[in-house]
């Protein structure tokens, strides 16, 4: 099968959509298909290398570094026409996504549309608080338009399906969680040694590491973790833990200021952005993974932590219903008030009880394996082709 994936963001960028699209690209090619990616590039010219078509885009710093491309590119269209595509898979709602839908219409190819991001949680990047209600309405209308033009629809979680139903979408929705290669997070001896070296370099050899990993952005609610951790330190007078942030983003400076205001600068480390290949090493230097985001559609970082056998303490959200079970595969907290007691509870668990949680967590992510993902995605592609006959 010849497939083209359309996405505004792609590897080596580090975010959920880029990771999902890159994983799917690698998987489909590994399984013998001809899969291509159409994405943006900072080049002035349209490029085509290693099955990736790059379309010139303009970086919009006020929109979190989003790169906007024109909705049609003649050179890219000619390239795509020559590939005899069977399916176009759109993974974005905007420039590149509109181009993908246009190509599909011109070539009479079925369109599979995946909704990755709860954009209503991101409107403040554009509105800065002004006209926010109008912006959310506009986002819903764009989503409805994309769904109307799609042959098949994919969402990564039940949470997203519920959202679509709430805005009046009646079409069939395929829930297909993104699969990933668990083996990346099982380190060999050399990688374990490298992880230990990183921990030593950070001065954490004798500390319990509480890891927060991902884009440092407002919608990730890392401020909730910091405030909860401050409450924990005040209540339990602990001197064995350190809160470590891995990643970069527009809210980093605000979080650093918050850490200073709370007078816990000596207990919080901001590592910054790391290469994608190094991400598993940081999971393995951690003792616990913390997350307070309620804007995720699936939450790949949760499954990455589980694959690395790192216990999770997360703020409850609907997207975790089929991912995390409290005190079975991980732990939930509600807010900054109950965070201290929850953290203290898991820090003082017996080692054998914690190992059971880790084992259960590893088993629970089996439905998110590459094999399961491939079977589900091919089912959607084949239905789209049949519907387009």
Mean pLDDT of all residues in 167-189: 89
- Distance of alpha carbon 212 from alpha carbon 343, whole angstroms: 14
Lowest mean pLDDT among 17-26, 86-95, 161-170, 254-263: 161-170
Q: Which of 38-52, 87-101, 108-122, 214-228 has the lowest mean pLDDT?
A: 108-122
User: Is the pLDDT reported for residue 323 higher than 80?
Assistant: no
Sorted by where each starts, the structural domains of the chain and their CATH numbers stand as 2-179+369-388 (3.40.50.2000), 182-365 (3.40.50.2000)
Q: pLDDT at position 65, please?
A: 53
**312-337: average pLDDT:** 89
The predicted pLDDT at position 297 comes to 64
pLDDT computed for residue 124 by the predictor? 46
Confidence band (pLDDT; 50, 70, 90) for 21?
Answer: very high
**Residue 213: strand, helix, or coil:** strand
pLDDT, position 388:
84
Residue 337 to residue 248: CA distance in whole angstroms: 27
Q: Of 43-52, 57-66, 150-159, which range is least confident?
A: 57-66
Predicted confidence at residue 128, as pLDDT, reads 55
**Angle subtended at Cα 8 by Cα 126 and Cα 33, rounded to the nearest 5 degrees:** 160
Residue 123 — very low, low, confident or very high, per pLDDT cuts 50/70/90?
very low
**What confidence score (pLDDT) does residue 145 get?**
76
Q: What are phi and psi of 94, to 5 degrees?
A: -110, -140
Q: Answer yes or no: is pLDDT of 255 > 60.
A: yes
- Give 110-166 as a 3 state SS string: CEEEECCCCHHHCCHHHHCCCCHHHHHHHHHHHHHHHHHHCCEEEECCHHHHHHHHH
Q: Which own/partner pairs from 381-388 qualify as long-range (CB within 8 Å, at least 24 positions apart)?
A: 381/1, 381/3, 381/86, 381/87, 381/89, 381/112, 381/152, 383/152, 384/87, 384/110, 384/111, 384/112, 384/151, 384/152, 385/86, 385/87, 385/110, 387/110, 387/151, 387/152, 388/108, 388/109, 388/110, 388/151
Integer CA distances (angstroms), 228 to 68, 232, 234, 292, in order: 37, 6, 10, 10
pLDDT at 59 over 70: no
Which residues neighbour 141 within 8 Å (Cβ) at sequence distance 6 or greater? none
Rounded to the nearest integer, the mean pLDDT of the chain is 89
* pTM given for the model: 0.77
Rounded to whole angstroms, how far apart are CA atoms 295 and 121? 6
């Amino acid at each position: 099968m010849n497939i083209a994936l359309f996405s505004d963001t792609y590897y080596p960028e580090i975010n959920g959509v880029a990771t999902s699209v890159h994983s799917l690209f690698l998987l489909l090619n590994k399984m013998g298909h001809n899969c291509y990616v159409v994405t943006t590039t900072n080049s002035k010219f349209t490029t085509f290398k290693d099955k990736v078509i790059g379309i010139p885009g303009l970086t919009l710093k006020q929109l979190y570094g989003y790169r906007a491309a024109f909705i049609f590119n003649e050179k890219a269209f000619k390239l795509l026409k020559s590939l005899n595509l069977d399916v176009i898979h759109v993974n974005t709602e905007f420039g590149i996504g509109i181009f993908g839908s246009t190509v599909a219409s011109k070539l009479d190819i079925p369109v599979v549309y995946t909704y990755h991001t709860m954009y209503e949680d991101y409107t403040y990047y554009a509105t800065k608080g002004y006209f926010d209600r109008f912006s959310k309405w506009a986002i819903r209308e764009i989503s409805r338009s994309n769904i109307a033009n799609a042959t098949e629809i994919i969402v990564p979680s039940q949470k997203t399906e519920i959202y679509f139903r709430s805005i009046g979408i009646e079409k069939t929705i395929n829930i297909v969680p993104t699969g990933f290669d668990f083996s990346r997070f099982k380190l060999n001896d050399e990688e374990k040694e490298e992880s230990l070296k990183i921990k030593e370099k950070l001065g954490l050899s004798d500390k319990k590491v509480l890891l927060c990993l991902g884009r440092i952005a407002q919608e990730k609610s890392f401020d909730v973790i910091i405030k909860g951790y401050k409450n924990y330190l005040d209540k339990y007078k602990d001197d064995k833990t350190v809160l470590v942030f891995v990643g970069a983003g527009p809210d980093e400076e605000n979080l650093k200021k918050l850490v200073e205001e709370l007078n816990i600068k000596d207990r919080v480390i901001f590592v910054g952005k790391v290469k994608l290949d190094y991400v598993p090493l940081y999971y393995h230097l951690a003792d616990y993974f913390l997350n307070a985001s309620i804007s995720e559609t699936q939450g790949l970082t949760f499954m990455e932590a589980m694959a690395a056998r790192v216990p999770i303490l997360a703020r409850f959200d609907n997207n975790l219903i089929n991912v995390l079970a409290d005190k079975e595969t991980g732990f939930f907290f509600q807010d900054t008030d109950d965070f201290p007691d929850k953290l203290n509870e898991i820090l003082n668990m017996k080692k054998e009880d914690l190992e059971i949680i880790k084992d259960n967590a590893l088993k629970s992510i089996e439905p998110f394996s590459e094999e399961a993902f491939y079977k589900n995605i091919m089912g959607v592609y084949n239905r789209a082709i049949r519907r387009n006959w």
